[in-house]
């Protein structure tokens, strides 16, 4: 191995350890103690439920298999760590697709932009893993589309198809984010049609494109079939459950249209931050300073993308700029009179667009465009003599500026996500129910878990989270489907949830709720939040209290 190859290997090795250190700086506290990580939308327990109609089926199948080897709380930490790694590596691949002239060290620094930004921070702290996974795969998909266009190597197109399929697997509404990039890719290929034809690759292109469509459909076949057979509740939820009130409840954050527009440009504006369930970056003094420092580099990249570039490169840059403008416009949503009309038109007339009830998710499109221009600007400045002579110091400074966009991601999300074990009496209650004799108990019978809230505070967690009962107890759990937010009580379209809500309103009068499938055999009442308002259960003739623990009351239905 010659000296040049050794130097390249050392630089790659240094970059690898850079990625490792960044991830460890975020996730290491989670692995120092046992327990689960409870975020608002992210709750795990010992039970991993499999549903072939769900888009997460294959991932859950893998995790279920691994749970026979590793504790589920450990798998959860590995999973969340993997999501962060995916985003970081997606940023790396995207930067390398933009330019091949940047050193591995600078690729590492620029890839930090994909991870350390308000969009990722907000979604991570809220526990929206599906959105983050889809965003990470989106970076890969766009990177391989860009590579295909530049190299005319159609193997890259197949890889783009694989990552596009994975985008849709974890967040189907990301199809609206993929589409502009795919259209730009097709326009770029049309402009290069003579080159493709001259190289005898026109037939290969169409075959690769057809094969790519097959890849996307095959990878997502399970939930697409379920939708076709109406075996999945997803279509019914989108068509019937989501209403115009959802646009109000999940509108992009901001006091007015101008502030909302500013939030979007700063990659912020997530509605969930206003629930005060985690530290809001925008409340920190000067939180936008890092982005302000990066803005000249991004503008410089825009300038370079049109200066002394080929016609194709200029069209690519112009296309990305149009995608950026569209994404900003749609991300503002109904918050501004200027953008409200288009948002409502798409909501009313574009199939499935109403499923994108959080317009702020369009920021997932804005970030790659920023990263594209930032990479061009930094790559050019890296050749300036003074920076070249101080490249390590310059790289450290740039990395620090990027990380300071979302510094609270570090050290376990600034210790906002802590490993917390379930209470010991939850395990006691679960074993108690499992050990009931077969004559009086069948695990196919469902258990109603109260208080009836989709999101509630648990004393042992110390904050409001999605109800974790269904992921903990071994037997089927019916827990609250009522989100109770933004003027929406319950839009889940779950018939059992509606029946139980009515039964609760009548305080058990008229007998046991007639839910689908097997009738409930037990009712668990957690001693949390407003549980005192459920103590009428003690007066119901067809219920008997059979066990009480420090945090739970268990009732059995008399037959």
Digit-coded pLDDT (tens) for 193-222: 888 888 778 888 999 999 999 999 999 998
Distance from first CA to last CA of the chain, Å, rounded?
A: 79
173 within 8 A of 361, measured Cβ to Cβ: yes
| Residue 310 pLDDT greater than 70, yes or no | yes
Compute how many other C-beta atoms are within 10 angstroms of the C-beta atom of residue 182. 16
Q: Are residues 30 and 103 in the same domain?
A: yes
**For residue 488, what are the β-bridge partners?**
485
Domain edge (last residue) among 356, 391, 415: 415
Of the chain, the percentage scoring pLDDT greater than 90 comes to 72
Q: What pLDDT shows up at residue 7?
A: 47
Classify each residue of 102-134 as buried b or exposed e, where b means 16 or more C-beta atoms within 10 Å of its C-beta.
bebbbbbbbbbbbbbbbbbbbbbbbbbbbbbbb
Q: Are residues 382 and 432 in the same domain?
A: no
Which residue range is the domain that position 455 belongs to? Answer: 424-557
| Residue 3 pLDDT greater than 60, yes or no | no
Q: Are residues 457 and 334 in the same domain?
A: no
Please tell me the distance from the alpha carbon of residue 250 to that of residue 234, in angstroms, as a whole number: 19
DSSP H stretches of helix in 28-71: 57-66
Please tell me the distance from the alpha carbon of residue 493 to that of residue 53, in angstroms, as a whole number: 17
Which whole-number Å values give the CA distances from 19 to 68, 87, 401, in the listed order? 29, 11, 17
* Over residues 412-419, mean pLDDT: 95
Q: What pLDDT shows up at residue 5?
A: 58
CA diameter of the chain? 85
Per-residue pLDDT reduced to its tens digit, 9-44: 455 566 788 899 999 999 999 999 999 999 999 999
Q: Are residues 135 and 209 in the same domain?
A: yes
pLDDT bracket for residue 84 (50, 70, 90)? very high
| Residue 444 pLDDT greater than 80, yes or no | no
Q: Which residue's entry shows tokens 């990066």? A: 294
Q: Are residues 411 and 454 in the same domain?
A: no
How does the average pLDDT of the chain come out, rounded?
Answer: 91
| Residue 433 pLDDT greater than 50, yes or no | yes
Per-residue pLDDT reduced to its tens digit, 50-73: 888 888 999 999 999 999 999 999
Q: What pLDDT shows up at residue 441?
A: 55
* Over residues 142-155, mean pLDDT: 94
Q: Are residues 102 and 60 in the same domain?
A: yes
Domain edge (last residue) among 363, 398, 415: 415
485 within 8 A of 475, measured Cβ to Cβ: no
| Residue 476 pLDDT greater than 50, yes or no | yes
* Over residues 402-429, mean pLDDT: 96
Please tell me the distance from the alpha carbon of residue 281 to that of residue 326, in angstroms, as a whole number: 25
Which pairing describes strands 520-526 and 446-450: parallel, antiparallel, or unpaired? parallel
Q: What pLDDT shows up at residue 511?
A: 85
Q: What pLDDT shows up at residue 549?
A: 97
Q: Which helix (H) or strand (E) holds 26?
A: helix 3-27
DSSP H stretches of helix in 54-174: 57-66, 72-98, 104-115, 118-126, 129-151, 155-170
Q: Are residues 395 and 435 in the same domain?
A: no
Q: Are residues 392 and 506 in the same domain?
A: no
Q: Are residues 407 and 441 in the same domain?
A: no
**294-298 contacts: CB < 8 A, separation 24 or more?**
294/113, 294/374, 294/401, 294/402, 294/405, 296/377, 297/374, 297/377, 297/378, 297/381, 298/370, 298/373, 298/374, 298/377
Per-residue pLDDT reduced to its tens digit, 351-399: 889 889 899 999 999 999 999 999 999 999 999 989 988 999 999 999 9
Domain edge (last residue) among 415, 440, 461: 415
| Residue 463 pLDDT greater than 70, yes or no | yes
Q: Are residues 409 and 466 in the same domain?
A: no
pLDDT bracket for residue 265 (50, 70, 90)? very high
| Residue 139 pLDDT greater than 70, yes or no | yes
| Residue 126 pLDDT greater than 70, yes or no | yes
Report how many domains make up the chain. Answer: 2
Q: Are residues 288 and 341 in the same domain?
A: yes
**Angle 516-521-523 from CA coordinates, rounded to 5°:** 100
* Over residues 472-490, mean pLDDT: 89
Residue 485, SS3 per DSSP: strand
Q: Are residues 384 and 479 in the same domain?
A: no
């Amino acid at each position: 191995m010659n000296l040049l190859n050794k130097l390249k290997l050392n630089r790659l090795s240094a970059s690898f350890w850079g990625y490792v250190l960044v991830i460890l700086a975020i996730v290491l506290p989670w692995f120092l103690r046992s327990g689960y990580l409870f975020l608002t939308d992210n709750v795990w327990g010992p039970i991993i439920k499999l549903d072939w109609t769900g888009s997460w089926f294959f991932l859950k199948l893998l995790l279920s298999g691994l749970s026979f080897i590793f504790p589920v709380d450990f798998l959860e930490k590995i999973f969340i760590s993997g999501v962060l790694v995916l985003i970081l590596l997606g940023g790396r691949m995207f930067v390398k697709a933009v330019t091949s002239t940047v050193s591995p060290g600078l690729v590492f620094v620029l890839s930090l932009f994909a991870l350390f930004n308000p969009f990722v921070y907000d979604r991570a702290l809220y526990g929206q893993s599906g959105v983050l996974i889809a965003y990470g795969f989106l970076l890969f998909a766009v990177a391989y589309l860009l590579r295909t266009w530049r190299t005319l190597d159609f193997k890259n197109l197949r890889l783009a198809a694989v990552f596009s399929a994975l985008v849709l697997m974890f967040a189907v509404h990301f199809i609206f984010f993929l589409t502009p990039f795919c259209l730009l890719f097709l326009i770029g290929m049309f402009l290069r049609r003579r080159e493709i034809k001259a190289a005898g690759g026109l037939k290969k292109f169409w075959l690769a494109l057809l094969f790519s469509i097959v890849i996307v459909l095959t990878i997502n076949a399970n939930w697409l079939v379920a939708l076709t057979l109406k075996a999945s509740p997803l279509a019914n939820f989108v068509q019937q459950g989501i209403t115009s009130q959802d646009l109000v409840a999940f509108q992009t954050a901001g006091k007015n249209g101008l502030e909302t527009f500013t939030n979007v440009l700063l990659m912020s504006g997530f509605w969930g931050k206003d629930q005060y369930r985690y530290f809001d970056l925008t409340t920190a003094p000067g939180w936008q300073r890092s982005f302000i420092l990066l803005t000249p580099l991004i503008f410089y990249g825009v300038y370079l993308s049109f200066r002394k570039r080929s016609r194709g490169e200029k069209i690519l840059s112009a296309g990305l700029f149009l995608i950026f403008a569209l994404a900003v416009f749609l991300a503002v949503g109904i918050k501004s009179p200027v953008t409200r009309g288009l948002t409502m038109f798409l909501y009313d007339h574009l199939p499935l667009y109403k499923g994108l009830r959080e317009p702020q998710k369009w920021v997932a499109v804005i970030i790659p465009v920023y990263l594209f221009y930032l990479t061009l600007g930094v790559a050019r400045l890296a050749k300036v003599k003074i920076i070249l002579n101080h490249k390590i110091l310059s790289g450290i400074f740039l990395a620090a500026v990027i990380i300071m966009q979302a510094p609270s991601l570090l050290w376990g999300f600034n210790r906002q996500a802590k490993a917390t074990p379930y209470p010991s009496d939850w395990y006691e209650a679960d074993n108690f129910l499992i050990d009931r004799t077969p004559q009086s108990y069948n695990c196919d019978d469902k258990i109603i878990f109260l208080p009836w809230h989709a999101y509630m505070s648990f004393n042992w967690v110390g904050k409001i989270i999605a109800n974790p009962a269904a992921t903990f107890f071994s037997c089927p759990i019916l827990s609250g489907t009522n989100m109770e937010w933004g003027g929406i009580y319950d839009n889940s379209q779950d018939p059992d949830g509606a029946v139980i809500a009515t039964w609760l309103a009548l305080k058990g009068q008229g007998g046991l709720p007639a839910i689908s499938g097997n009738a409930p055999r037990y009712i668990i009442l957690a001693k949390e939040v407003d549980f005192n308002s459920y103590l009428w259960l003690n007066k119901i003739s067809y219920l008997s209290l059979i066990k009480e623990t420090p945090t739970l009351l268990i009732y059995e239905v008399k037959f």
